[in-house]
């Protein structure tokens, strides 16, 4: 399988729409098109193999399930993960004769995505820096009272930044992708130490994604019990995630009710308790 010019251009367009300061907007661009699972569907449609795209995208999604870009700091930028990493992983999987269901295929996809994800960080800073030009021009327009030009500044001019920092890199790398995966296949034997390490990294990386999120939600050690409760439900009791979410939702409601009870005026509760003691 190869990626032709039209396919590479479509992937480039998706990269423009889906990145963090993306042109698809926050909700639909970054948090929808940018998610590797959705990208798996989109890339699968573009390259003509949806099941493989989904399976590889789902594997990559686990690593980035908790990609929080708080305050404009990025650990990895989704445009490269989703629209360079997944297409290249699909090319490689084709070359190996995989369907995408194999653990090897999924580990390779994760490793590939994480590798190009670091390139994405460079692209992120590139885009943000180029946008400075439009913003400075935009401030001048506001000073001069040409207010409608704000639409141009916010919605149109960033396309130039994205053409340079999203479209071109994605287009070029995806076009050259088929040669590159052939080189990997020729020079790195599967039972060699390099490939073994690569695949092992692929299976280890998802733990970083989960840990990033845990850092957000765990504030005291006892919170880990909540984490292991969910873990146990799935690992021991073999609930799926929908079941896990329903059990979790039940506990969340109980917790909320208890917290709201505790919010009632303390004096009234204290008085009631005293009454009980006096009149057994």
Partner 1 sequence: MKTLSQKTLNRSFNNWFYGNLTCFSQEHMQTFGYMLAMLPVVKELYATNEEQTQKLKTYSTFFNTEPQVGAVVVGITTGMEEARANGEDVDDETINGIRAGLMGPLAGIGDSLVVGTLLPILLGIALGLSGGGSPLGAIFYILVWNFGMYFLMRFMYFKGYELGGKAVEVLVGEKANAIRESVIMLGTMVIGGVTASWINITTSFKMLNSEGGVIVDLQKTLNDVYPSLLSAVFVLICWYLLSKKRMSPLWVMLILVVVAFVGVLVGFFDPGLSY
Q: How far is the CB of 55 from partner 1 (least distance, A)?
A: 5
Residue 162: half-sphere exposure toward Cβ, Cα within 13 Å = 23
Give me Rg for the CA atoms of the chain: 24
Q: How far is the CB of 22 from partner 1 (least distance, A)?
A: 7
Q: Binding of partner 1 at residue 83 (CB under 8 A)? A: no
Stretch touching partner 1 by CB under 8 A, among 1-9, 78-86, 168-176, 230-238: 230-238
Q: How far is the CB of 47 from partner 1 (least distance, A)?
A: 13
Q: At 69, give phi and psi (nearest 5°).
A: -105, 60
Q: How far is the CB of 71 from partner 1 (least distance, A)?
A: 7
Q: How far is the CB of 206 from partner 1 (least distance, A)?
A: 5
Residue 17: half-sphere exposure toward Cβ, Cα within 13 Å = 18
DSSP annotation of 27: I
User: CA-CA distances (angstroms) from residue 45 to 40, 87, 213, 229, 268?
Assistant: 8, 11, 30, 38, 63
26 or 179: CB nearest partner 1 = 26
Q: Binding of partner 1 at residue 196 (CB under 8 A)? A: yes
Stretch touching partner 1 by CB under 8 A, among 79-87, 150-158, 166-174, 175-183: 150-158
Residues from 257 through 276 that contact partner 1 (CB under 8 A): 259-260, 263
Q: Binding of partner 1 at residue 92 (CB under 8 A)? A: no
Comparing CA positions, the residue from 57, 29, 30, 26 lying closest to residue 41 is 57
Q: With beta carbons less than 8 A apart as the criterion, state whether 141 and 153 touch.
A: yes
Comparing CA positions, the residue from 27, 14, 20, 8 lying closest to residue 127 is 20
Q: Of residues 30, 82, 166, 170, which one binds partner 1 by CB under 8 A?
A: 30
Q: Binding of partner 1 at residue 197 (CB under 8 A)? A: yes
The token duo for 93 is 């999987």
Residue with tokens 């890199």: 169
- CA angle 63-210-100, nearest 5°? 30
The token duo for 155 is 């919605």
Stretch touching partner 1 by CB under 8 A, among 1-9, 50-58, 171-179, 265-273: 50-58
Q: Of residues 15, 89, 91, 205, which one binds partner 1 by CB under 8 A?
A: 205
Q: Of residues 204, 270, 271, 274, which one binds partner 1 by CB under 8 A?
A: 204
Q: Binding of partner 1 at residue 18 (CB under 8 A)? A: no
223 or 274: CB nearest partner 1 = 223
Q: How far apart are CA 105 and CA 92, in angstroms?
A: 8
Q: How far apart are CA 198 and CA 214, in angstroms?
A: 25
Q: Binding of partner 1 at residue 164 (CB under 8 A)? A: no
Q: How far is the CB of 179 from partner 1 (least distance, A)?
A: 20
């Amino acid at each position: 399988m190869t990626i032709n010019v039209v396919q590479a251009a479509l992937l480039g367009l998706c990269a423009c729409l889906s990145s963090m300061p993306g042109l698809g907007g926050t909700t639909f661009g970054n948090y929808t098109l940018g998610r590797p699972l959705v990208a798996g569907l989109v890339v699968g449609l573009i390259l003509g193999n949806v099941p493989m795209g989904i399976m590889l995208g789902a594997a990559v999604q686990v690593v980035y399930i908790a990609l929080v870009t708080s305050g404009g700091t990025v650990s990895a930028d989704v445009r490269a993960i989703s629209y360079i990493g997944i297409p290249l992983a699909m090319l490689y999987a084709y070359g190996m004769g995989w369907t995408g269901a194999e653990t090897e295929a999924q580990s390779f996809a994760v490793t590939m995505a994480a590798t190009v994800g670091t390139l994405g960080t460079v692209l992120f800073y590139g885009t943000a820096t180029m946008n400075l030009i439009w913003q400075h021009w935009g401030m001048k327009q506001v000073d001069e009272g040409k207010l409608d030009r704000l639409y141009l500044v916010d919605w149109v001019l960033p396309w130039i930044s994205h053409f340079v920092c999203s479209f071109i890199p994605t287009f070029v790398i995806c076009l050259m992708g088929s040669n590159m995966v052939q080189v990997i296949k020729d020079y790195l034997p599967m039972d060699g130490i390099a490939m073994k390490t690569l695949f092992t990294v692929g299976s280890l990386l998802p733990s970083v994604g989960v840990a990033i999120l845990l850092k957000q939600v765990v504030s005291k050690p006892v919170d880990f019990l909540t984490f292991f409760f969910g873990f146990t439900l799935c690992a021991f009791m073999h609930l799926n995630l929908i079941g896990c979410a329903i059990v979790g939702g039940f506990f969340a409601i109980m917790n909320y009710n208890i917290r709201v009870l505790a919010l009632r005026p303390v004096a009234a509760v204290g008085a009631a308790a005293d009454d009980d003691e006096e009149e057994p």
